[in-house]
Amino acid sequence: MSAPQLADGSWQYRSINAQNPGLDHLSDGLLDLVEAGVPVVAGTADLQYSNGLVKFAQRHPDRFVQFGISEQNMVSAAAGLATTGVVPFVATFASFLALLCCEQIRMDVAYTKLPVRLVGHHTGIALGFYGTSHHATEDISALRAIAGLTIVSPADGPQLRAAIRASADWPEPIYFRTSRGRDPQVYGDDVVFEFGKGIEHATGTDLTIIACGTQVHPALAAADALRAEGLSVGVIDMPTIKPLDEGLVRSATARSAVVLTVEEHNILGGLGAAVAEVMAEAPSGARLVRHGIRDEYSLIAPPTHLYAHYRLDAPGIAAVAREALA
């Protein structure tokens, strides 16, 4: 099907590939590593424009592998690559990476303890009207059960880039869970990342919101709104889901009456579940409310409409918090 041609011979059709800024921070993080002397190899499964790896590929064609739409082959091959002394980063939509390749991740990447870096992008409901096949609201749950796999869900591009830089000193295989790369930024380019450490933005006695990924930005805005109403509200960004910063969770539960977890993910098995496990084993009197996708498949809509519908935006999170405190 061809688009109508204009009088000057150009096409009205706009290439999404060309205009999509993608995850610039992914390529930038990999370029940082190369500069630091880390033998990075990047690979993708026909999504170099969606994840922005095209930028890395153009700079280092000899360090880039196009695997085509063969995700399982890509993950297993990344493990083979890692045995030769390179550090492979392979990226595709999180839905395919975490679920289609779950067994390759377990057998070839985690069981072997190889330093493979898996980058699942467009997580949660970020792909909006592309629908359930392209949504990833189960990836944390599925991969948390895999022994030896580190799971990182950065709040924004700069934190992703910082986490990639920090991964040079992290020997375990890693699953990076990242969104579309055009989400509002929480951090500046100077942000520092430490694996296994949460970031306490504020403390509060009424409520602590523990959020990850795209939900950190709206959680901070929701906290501002709640404070304006006279509440004492803390916010923790928990980018490393596994290993979880249990000490920070316990300090929040010791301080706050209510802990509210917020994630763009099923509330079963994700961040909320990880926090619940800590709270169950170290009872504190604090009450837990898990907010996220409530064990269902998302409706079809543009992403921003979905975030509003599922109350995964600042007004929605504030409303959930008010109900929890009522």
Partner 1 sequence: MSMSHVPSSTTLTPDRPTADATLLADRAAFVRTETIRLIEIAKVGHYSSVFSAAEIFAALYYGVMRTDAARPEWADRDRFLMGKGHAAVGLFPILADLGYFPTEVLDGYTRLGSPLGDHPDMTKVPGIDFSSGSIGHALSNGLGMALGGRMAGRDFSVFVMLGDGEMQEGQVWEAALGAAHHRLGKLVAIVDRNGFQLDGSVDDVIGIEPLADKWRAFGWNVHEVDGHDPVAVRDLLLALAERPDGAAPSCVIAQTKKGKGVSYMEEEPGWHLGYLMPADAERAIAEILEGGRA
92 near partner 1, judged by CB under 8 A: no
Strand order in the sheet with 150-152: 64-66, 40-44, 87-93, 117-121, 174-177, 150-152, 240-242
Beta-strand runs (E) in the chain = 40-44, 64-66, 87-93, 117-121, 150-152, 174-177, 199-202, 207-211, 233-237, 240-242, 258-266, 287-293
Nearest Cα neighbor of 228 from 167, 150, 119, 315 is: 315
Q: Does 143 bind partner 1 (CB under 8 A)?
A: no
Nearer to partner 1, 104 or 256 (CB): 104
Task: Determine the angle formed by the axes of helices 157-166 and 24-35, rounding to 10 degrees.
Answer: 30
Closer to partner 1 at the Cβ: 69 or 254?
69
Tell me the β-bridge partners of 222.
none
Backbone dihedral angles phi then psi of residue 264, each to the nearest 5 degrees: -90, 70
Residue 296 binds to partner 1 (criterion: CB under 8 A): no
Cβ-based nearer residue to partner 1, 63 or 180:
63
Q: What is the nearest approach in angstroms of partner 1 to the Cβ of residue 238? A: 25
Can residue 60 be called a binding residue for partner 1 (CB under 8 A)?
no
The Cα–Cα gap between 293 and 215 comes to 12
> Is the CB of residue 40 less than 8 Å from the CB of residue 34?
yes
Q: Which residues from 213-242 bind partner 1, rule CB under 8 A?
A: none
Dihedral sign of CA atoms 183, 188, 194, 200 in order: negative
Residue 56 in the binding site for partner 1 (CB under 8 A): no
- Residue 201 CB, shortest distance to partner 1, in Å, is 31
Q: Site map for partner 1, 161-200, x if CB under 8 A?
A: -------xx-x-----------------------------
Nearer to partner 1, 92 or 253 (CB): 92
Closest contact distance (angstroms) between CB of 85 and partner 1 is 5
Q: How far apart are CA 88 and CA 132, in angstroms?
A: 28
Instruction: Give the residue with the Cβ less far from partner 1, 74 or 318.
Output: 74
C-beta of 171 vs 315, nearer to partner 1: 171
Shortest approach of partner 1 to residue 113 CB, angstroms? 6
The least distance separating partner 1 from the CB of residue 69, rounded to whole angstroms, comes to 9
Length of the chain in residues, anyone?
326
Between 112 and 284, name the residue whose CB sits nearer to partner 1: 112
What is the torsion angle, in degrees rounded to the nearest 10, for the CA atoms of residue 47, residue 89, residue 71 and residue 214?
-60
Q: Where do contacts with partner 1 occur on this chain (CB under 8 A)?
A: 38, 41, 62-63, 65, 67-68, 70, 72-88, 103-104, 107-108, 111-115, 168-169, 171
